[in-house]
Amino acid sequence: MPTTSHASTAGDAGTWTLGDRTVHRMGFGSMRITANPDRDLAIAVLRRAVDLGVNHIDTAAFYFSPGGTLKVGSGPTRWATELIREALWPYPDDLVIATKVGPSYDPVAGSTPQATSPAALRAQVEENLRRLGRDHLDVVNLRILKRPGHDSVAERFGALADLRDAGLIRHLGLSNVRVDHLDEAEPIAPVVCVQNSYALDNRTDDGLLRTCGERGVAFVPYFAIAGARREAGAEARHDEAVRAVARAHGVTPHQVRLAWTLHQGAHVLAIPGTGDPDHLVENIAAGALRLTPEELARLDAPVVEEPAQPA
């Protein structure tokens, strides 16, 4: 039987405060809506998300069709930020749009260079403002490409802090980083969130998640459903523990993965993305799913591989 009987909304997941903005812990990621060939359906999904209580939407200037990657001959380009504006402007007063800067795309070279200079980062911020139709950005995450050794974020984060002081940005965050990056950024300007890849089967950032909780910084996992499949989409393989918990609650394994994510701490925010209205409703409903300590222990237990049978 399902855990809840009422129509679920994003508010069922609880709330967290990003700086001075309170958001529901169940949000929406906009990357996948760019891959939807039906523009009207993509806009409908965004509007439905807000109708279901979502007031935290994740996006980036480099989210564009299809699936965030521009391909020659792939048809008209759909920018996630422009879809958000078309669907939701004028924006609800409580809506927080978090975007990312750093990566950009060169359609000629087919590469994803990093914007590192203050001028390049300002250009990306201004592009976000233009496409979203805003005079300021609620949250801007500095997205980096992690490299071994010491790869400083000080100059880049400092450039965004200057734009924050100028009123173009309200709050700052980091994406795809380590604890030492957070240590380096916090003396420059307040960090309200850290956004990294994290899932039930991708626990490499457990330490960073705990550090964020100790410091009152939101931890915002991406690929919480996709796991190791990342941009390829939702994970279709689930171990027996996930399937058993799903059966017990009358929900899908994907909903269990989202619920487990939210159970990792009050500071953890979910941003599942989809272009499917039915999947959207399922994702939102996962915020109302309450897992028992025994279920969480079962999900956290190491997966024991079955020994190979002799031929």
The set of catalytic residues is 63
Tell me the CA end-to-end span of the chain in Å, nearest whole number: 41
Beta carbons within 8 Å of 86's beta carbon, 6+ residues apart: 43
CB-based contact 245:298 (threshold 8 Å): yes
CB 299 within 8 A of CB 292: no
Structure tokens at 65: 């069709």
Amino acid at 146: K
DSSP 169: E
| Main-chain dihedrals φ then ψ at residue 143, nearest 5 degrees | -95, 130
Alpha helices in the chain (DSSP H): 39-51, 80-88, 118-132, 154-165, 179-185, 206-215, 240-249, 253-262, 277-285, 293-300
191 — phi, psi (to 5°)?
A: -105, 115
Q: Provide DSSP, 120-149.
A: HHHHHHHHHHHHHT-SSEEEEEEE----SS
> Is 84:90 a contact under the CB 8 Å cutoff?
no
